[in-house]
Amino acid sequence: MSMLMVNASQSFNQLKELLQITDGNLASHMKPLEENNYVKMEKGFIGRKTNTTYAVTKAGQKAFRQHLDALEKMIKGVG
**Residue 40: CB partners within 8 Å, gap ≥ 6?**
34, 54, 55, 57
CA distances from 55 to 7, 16, 27, 41, 66 (A): 8, 14, 14, 7, 18
3-state secondary structure of 20: coil
pTM above 0.95, yes or no: no
For the chain, list the domains and their CATH numbers: 2-76 (1.10.10.10)
Would you state the pLDDT for residue 78?
75
Contact 1, 56 (CB under 8 A): yes
Helix (H, G, I), strand (E, B) or coil at 55: strand
Q: Each residue of 30-69: pLDDT tens digit? A: 999 999 999 999 999 988 998 999 999 999 999 999 999 9
